[in-house]
Amino acid sequence: TPIGSASIGQTHVAALPDGREVVVKVLRTGVEDALRIDIDIMRAIAAQVQRRWAVARELDLLGFVDEFDRQIAGELDYTREGRNAERIAANFAKRPGLRVPAIYWETSTDRVLTMERLTGIPIDDVAALDAAGIDRVALGRRAATFILDMVLVDGFFHGDPHPGNLLVGASGTIELLDYGMVGTLSEAHRRQLVQLVAS
């Protein structure tokens, strides 16, 4: 029985031979072929609309489809997701308070990702956070700081930080899950964002 299910995969709790509890993310069978058909249909429709409507050409609808295609390709490769997690973990190695699940490469492939199981409190479970004595104001500041650090300092950031991907450990540590969608910003763009925020 999966503990989580999404359009492209499912997650299951398992145990390694040494007894460590892990989460195993498995790509759904046939999902690549189904998505390829959907993206080809989207591309054909976008091309037709662009040929017939000047506004669509200005918006570059085909460009949107191409970007969606690239993003989906990244999410279908669990090896890439594991590397994304490790990169963010390395970026925050000297900044305590953010926990990224360890990746177990010996039991992972591009279609199966095995990672450390994190068991914190969902960040939007206010009653459980209060019962655990977590300072929610401090937690909010810490979460915002981590997101801003990823975007403005590192230029490599988690692209889907919704409440389902954020847990809170007993000490108030933020546990960040699901690295299938990430973004990057060049140094020049980061500098522009800093100037925008500061003005």
Find where tokens 């029985």 sit. 1
Burial class (CB in 10 A: 0-12, 13-18, 19+), 29: exposed
Catalytic residue among 18, 33, 160, 178: 160
Helix axes 31-52, 61-75, angle to 10 degrees: 170
User: What value, to the nearest 5°, has the Cα angle with vertex 143 and ends 141 and 146?
Assistant: 110
160 is catalytic: yes
C-alpha–C-alpha distance, residues 124 and 146, integer Å: 17
**Block residue for tokens 């490790």:** 86
For every residue of 115-161, DSSP letters joined together read EEPP--EETT-HHHHHHTT--HHHHHHHHHHHHHIIIIIISEEES--
| Residues near 150 by beta carbon (within 8 Å), at least 6 away in sequence | 88, 91, 156, 157, 158
Q: What is the DSSP letter of 7?
A: S
Residues known to be catalytic: 160
